[in-house]
Amino acid sequence: MRHSVPWITQYASASLIEAITYGAAPTLYELAAGAMEYGAYTDEPGRPRGLIYRPFAEYARDKHGVRAEVITDLDPGRVISELRAERLVIASVHPEIRRPGNDPPGTGGHLVLVTGHADGLVTFHNPSGHVPEAVVATLPLPVFDRFAARRGIALYL
């Protein structure tokens, strides 16, 4: 007799296992250079600094086969809706989200990857997390939303 047991792959999505395991993943430099070719990232004076969403969505689609949708109304309900649809969400939050007990001095300016939700909590990867619980963090959705600029990108995997 077999029992049906739910499972979660360490590769973000079961459809990506073969490509990640047996394909060559691009380096961070290759990703940055590709994004710059599309105008999706810049560090030039007089231009917005950092990731520029719409060209990034084109880059993700053209170069990596990933559909990416820019979201300008990324309220808490939309975050949960995207996660329930098995999408990942790149969200703009204030960098002080790494210290969620403090009041944020603003919103936005820093990107995190929202990967899951359960029981009113969201889990996200923060590239500037300074302690392990800030690198992969879980916060109540209202706390997360205090830091959020309510804009971002949904990644269709």
CA atoms 22, 24, 25, 27: torsion sign:
positive
**Pairing between strand 41-42 and 50-51?**
antiparallel
C-alpha 64, offset from chain centre: 16
Domain ranges of the chain: 13-65, 66-157
131 vs 82, 111, 125, 126, 136, CA distance in Å?
A: 27, 17, 12, 10, 9
The CATH number for 66-157, chosen from 1.20.140.10, 3.40.50.2300, 3.90.70.10, 3.30.70.1900, is 3.90.70.10
Tens-digit pLDDT profile for residues 49-81 = 789 999 999 999 999 999 999 999 999 999 999
DSSP state at residue 141: H
52 within 8 A of 41, measured Cβ to Cβ: yes
Tens-digit pLDDT profile for residues 111-138 = 999 999 999 999 999 988 888 888 899 9
* Confidence tier at 157 by pLDDT (50, 70, 90): confident
Global pTM reads 0.82
CA atoms 85, 89, 94, 98: torsion sign:
positive
